[in-house]
Amino acid sequence: MIVSICNKTTMGLEGRRYLKKVSIKAQCGRHNQHQQQKESNRVGVVPVISATAATRTTHGAKLSKRSPRPENVDGDFYVDHTCIDCNVCRMMTPTVYSRLGQQSIVYNQPSSDEERLSALQALLSCPTASIHTREPPTDIKMAHDSFPLAIDPNTIEGVYHCGYHSEASFGATSYFIVHPGGNILVDSPRYSVQLAKRMEAMGGVRYMFLTHRDDVADHKKWQEHFKCERILHEHEVTWSTAEVEMKLQGEGPWSLAPDIELIFSPGHTEACVSLLYKTKGALFTGDHLMGNGKGLMMDHVHNWYSVPLQIESIRALLPYDFTWVLPGHGYMHHFNTVEEKNVALRNLIEKESM
């Protein structure tokens, strides 16, 4: 294993930069007052409404933020007013959830068992518990037991979507890799006892690879549960990750296993790192590169370090063989061939360089 280990922490500049980002997020409404909500309030039960969780209608009457948005279609499932527009439910179950007015709604009630299960998986994955059912869902255990979700057993067997997105990372997607050298958690889902049990049954977690400082969410709880080794670049370490077990140094590449390479991809933040699972042709990109539902994109609005450097880090991905892009934010994307991936990367670089 070629991972460099450094016990030196990098508080100070990185910590301040992180705090600045959190502050920006708060202004954007990304971190709202429901951070303290308990897991038990998540499913099928409308939580007790606090005074701060209420707003006023234009007529002056009090309107609970936990009440259904009026735009939801009639039926069992609904989205309330606390939605932070993270897009998770719409990516997971686009036939049920859609976007209206910078928040999600239910625009179609599930019409089959399969669609209902998917809608419940999105309900459990919603980082702010903004999705509800009017009737207690007697089949919720089946939804819990379905995680982590296989992404595509035909092309990337053993790679899973964890679900249980966390508000602390604005609903970033995390992944679970079942690997003969030890299972790997890529970025951090919201801590969930049910998910922990499922991952235990699948062999536990040896490594928790953190792509960058933003998507670390409940990393500490997962480390305490699995005693896994957390990996993060030293220049991404902040006060909350000062104790991570492995701090990458320099510009890599680093190797976790013969077919797992860590690729330095700075730009979105100072020292983001992507994980390449060579035998499956899958690149886990954090917030460096993402799908947009049709092709690839990079996110300028949430670039915290350098757009030109991010473009150069995308260019540096051209020599690598992969067909799956598995991001923290944005859509997963699968190309049929590596050449197709390279055409998309070149087009993106050209567009972003203009």
Regarding 217 and contact with ligand SF4 (CB under 6 A), the answer is no
Decide whether 137 or 327 has the Cβ nearer to Fe ion: 327
84 binds, among ligand SF4, Fe ion, none (CB under 5 to 8 A by kind): ligand SF4
Distance in angstroms (rounded) separating the CA atoms of residues 319 and 220? 35
Regarding 171 and contact with ligand SF4 (CB under 6 A), the answer is yes
How far the first Cα of the chain sits from its last, in Å, is 40
85 binds, among ligand SF4, Fe ion, none (CB under 5 to 8 A by kind): ligand SF4
Question: Residue 248: beta bridge partners?
Answer: 233
Decide whether 281 or 328 has the Cβ nearer to ligand SF4: 328
151 binds, among Fe ion, ligand SF4, none (CB under 5 to 8 A by kind): none
Distance in angstroms (rounded) separating the CA atoms of residues 256 and 32? 37
Regarding 83 and contact with ligand SF4 (CB under 6 A), the answer is yes
Distance in angstroms (rounded) separating the CA atoms of residues 85 and 67? 17
Decide whether 87 or 306 has the Cβ nearer to ligand SF4: 87
214 binds, among ligand SF4, Fe ion, none (CB under 5 to 8 A by kind): Fe ion
104, 118, 192, 238: residue in contact with ligand SF4 (rule CB under 6 A):
104
The CA-based dihedral angle spanning residues 299, 319, 328, 226, taken in that order and rounded to the nearest 10 degrees = -150
- In whole angstroms, the minimum distance from the beta carbon of 87 to ligand SF4 comes to 5
Regarding 131 and contact with ligand SF4 (CB under 6 A), the answer is yes
Per CB under 6 A, the segment of 4-12, 52-60, 82-90, 313-321 that binds ligand SF4 is 82-90
The answer to whether the beta carbons of residues 131 and 122 sit under 8 Å apart is: yes
* Stretch 209-228: interaction string toward Fe ion, x if CB under 5 A: -----x--------------
Decide whether 214 or 218 has the Cβ nearer to Fe ion: 214
Distance in angstroms (rounded) separating the CA atoms of residues 131 and 324? 29
What's at 24, amino acid-wise?
Answer: I
Distance in angstroms (rounded) separating the CA atoms of residues 48 and 301? 35
Per CB under 6 A, the segment of 10-18, 120-128, 294-302, 329-337 that binds ligand SF4 is 120-128
What's at 237, amino acid-wise?
Answer: V
Regarding 14 and contact with Fe ion (CB under 5 A), the answer is no
The answer to whether the beta carbons of residues 106 and 114 sit under 8 Å apart is: no
Regarding 85 and contact with ligand SF4 (CB under 6 A), the answer is yes
Per CB under 6 A, the segment of 77-85, 253-261, 305-313, 344-352 that binds ligand SF4 is 77-85
Among candidate residues 85, 132, 88, the one with its CA nearest the CA of residue 104: 85
Q: What is the 3-state secondary structure (H, E, C) of 284-329?
A: EEECCCEECCCCEECCCCCCCCCHHHHHHHHHCCCCCCCCEEEECC
The answer to whether the beta carbons of residues 295 and 333 sit under 8 Å apart is: yes
Q: Which residues bind ligand SF4 (CB under 6 A)?
A: 79, 83-89, 104, 126-128, 130-131, 171
